[in-house]
Chains A and B, each alone.
Chain A
Amino acid sequence: MQSASRKTLEESLPDNRASLAAAAIRLVLGALTAIMLLAVPSVAASQQSFVTRQTTYVVRFASAIDESDAPVLLRQPITLRLRNVTLERALQAIAARAGAPLSYSRAVVPLDRVVSIDVRQVSVLRAFYEVLNSVNVELWVSIDGHMALVPATAPPSEEATGTVAGRVTMAGSNEPLNDATVSVSGTRLRTATDNDGRYSIAGVPEGTRTIFVQRLGFGRDSATVVVRPNETVTADFALRPVAVSLSEVVTIGYGTQRRRDLTGAIASVTSDDIQRTPVVSVEQALQGRVAGVQVTGGSGQPGSSAAVRIRGGNSIAAGNDPLYVIDGVPVSASANNTNTYTLETVGVSGLNPLAALNPSDIESVEILKDASATAIYGARASNGVILITTKRGRSGANTVTVNAYHGTQAVRHRLSLLNAQQFAAYANAARVNGGQPALYTPAEIAALPNTNWQDEIFRSAPVTNVEASFSGGDNDTHYYVSGNLLRQDGIVLNTNMNRGSVRLNLDQDISSRFRVGNRFTLSRSQSQLMPNGGGGQEVSSVLLNALTAPPTLSVLGSGNEYFIGVNPATGRIFSNPVGAATLITNKEQQNRFVGNVFGEYDLFPKLTFRSSFGADYLSSMQDFYSPSTTYPGVTTGGSGSRGSLAVTTWLSENTLHYTPGQFGFLRAVDLLGGITLQRTNAANVSGTGQNFVTDALGQNGLNSAGTFIGVWTGAPHSSLASYFARANWNLLDRFLFTVTERVDGSSKFGTGNQYGFFPSAAIAWRMSDESFVRGLGLFDDLKLRASIGKTGNQDIGDYRALATLGSSTYLFNGVKVVGYSPNTLANPNLKWESTSQGNIGLDAALLRSRLLLTADVYNKTTRDLLLEVAVPATLGYSTQLQNIGSVRNRGVELSLNTVNTTGALGWTSGFNIAWNRNKVLSIGADSQIVGPVGVGAGAVQNPTILKVGQPINSFYGYVYSGMSNGQTTYADLNGDGVISTADQQIIGNAEPTYTGGFTNDLTFRNFDLSLFIQFSQGNKIYNITRALLTNDAGNNNQLTDVLPAQSAGANGIPVPKIGNTYDARPSTLFVEDGSYIRGKSLRLGYRLPASLLSSSRPGHLQNAEIYINATNFFTKTKYTGYDPEVSEYATSVLAQGIDFGTYPQTRQFIFGFTTAF
Chain B
Amino acid sequence: MSNAQLAWNAMKQRECFTVTEIANTANMDVENCRHLVKRLLKKGFIEIKNGIGVQGSPYVYAVKASNDSPTFGRGGHPGREIKQSGRTGHQLIWNALRINLTVTPKLAQAVTNCSLTSIRRYLLALERTGYVRCHRIDNRQAPADKIGQEHCYRLIRSTGPKAPILRIKPAGVYDQNNRQFYAYSEAK
Are both chains from one complex?
Answer: no
A residues with a Cβ closer than 8 A to B are none
B residues with a Cβ closer than 8 A to A are none
